[in-house]
Amino acid sequence: MPIFYVTCWYSSKNMSDQSPDASGPDGSGYLPGLALDAVIFGFHENQLRILLLEYRNTGLFALPGGFIRENEDLNAAARRMLAERTGLSDIYLEQFYVFGDQARHDPAPMRSIMIANGLAPTEYHWLLRRFVSVGYYALVDFTKAVPRPDALSDSCDWYDLDRLPQLMQDHQTIVQKALETLRINLDRKLVEWASSLLPDTFTMAELQSLYETILNEKLHRSGFQRKMLSLGVLERIDKKYTGGAHKAPYVYRFVAV
């Protein structure tokens, strides 16, 4: 019972128009039907934001996403996509959920985007087909990122979590689920996250404001300080003279594990 399975990519234009990695604008070279969407959390001075793309002439906003090359690990694809969008490479990145309902398949917005970009996609264009998408969340200091739009979008920028524009498809759901994951994992993953979210050294007040911003609630200063110190992962470095008319706080660093 010899059976053959072949995935074919047809392009009416030039099959040879491909980037060096052998993945091209016709979708060839990518794993078919599988995508990534990333909720990139940016933190800086009490502010928690996420990175969104705005598509040209459409008023449509979306999470940065991407595809997986045939000769690429899934997580590596997420890391590559992230670097393309932010210019950052050593940041925390983790899967949190796979969005695989049929209901999320809605070719209309993507068709609008393509048309707004001067393309005339056929009904069966690969970008208009059903995708199962792996959700990733990433953590960065947003002052370190250099957001770059992708080929179809004219802006890539940070948006306050509580003032998000209307998002495409199920991207609002994806953001919500990412935020839940962030909150659930905060205590357990703090040390892993620290280098992505905080400068090398930081004051206790900065660490507390990170907690408060992520959890969206006020914490008691004294108890917080005691709890953090009791974790045994903080090393006190120096005093920090901020210029304020008050005692100078210490700066801390997470000790290597």
Partner DNA sequence: TTCTATTGTAACAATTTGTTACAATAATAA
Partner DNA sequence: TTATTATTGTAACAAATTGTTACAATAGAA
Check residue 121 for interaction with a copy of itself (CB under 8 A). Answer: yes
Site for a copy of itself, residues 201 to 230, rule: CB under 8 A: none
Annotate each residue in 185-204 with x if it binds DNA (CB under 7 A) or - if it does not, as one string: ------------------xx
The answer to the question of residue 239 lying near DNA (CB under 7 A) is: yes
Selection from a copy of itself, DNA, none that 109 binds (CB < 5 to 8 A by kind) is none
Task: Answer yes or no whether residue 27 interacts with a copy of itself by CB under 8 A.
Answer: yes
243 lies in the site for DNA, by CB under 7 A: yes
- Are the C-beta atoms of 65 and 51 separated by less than 8 Å? no
Is 97 a residue that touches a copy of itself (CB under 8 A)? yes
Of 181, 140, 117, 184, nearest to 47 by C-alpha is: 140
Residue 247 makes contact with DNA by CB under 7 A: yes
Task: Please pick, from the candidates 4, 10, 124, 241, the single residue that binds DNA as defined by CB under 7 A.
Answer: 241
Scan for tokens 């953590």, then name that residue: 139
Q: How far apart are CA 62 and CA 112, in angstroms?
A: 13
How far, in Å, CA of 148 to CA of 154, rounded?
9
Distance CA 184, CA 218 (A): 17
From the list 65, 57, 68, 61, the residue with the least C-alpha distance to 27 is 68
Residues that bind DNA (CB under 7 A): 203-205, 220-223, 225-227, 229-230, 239, 241-250
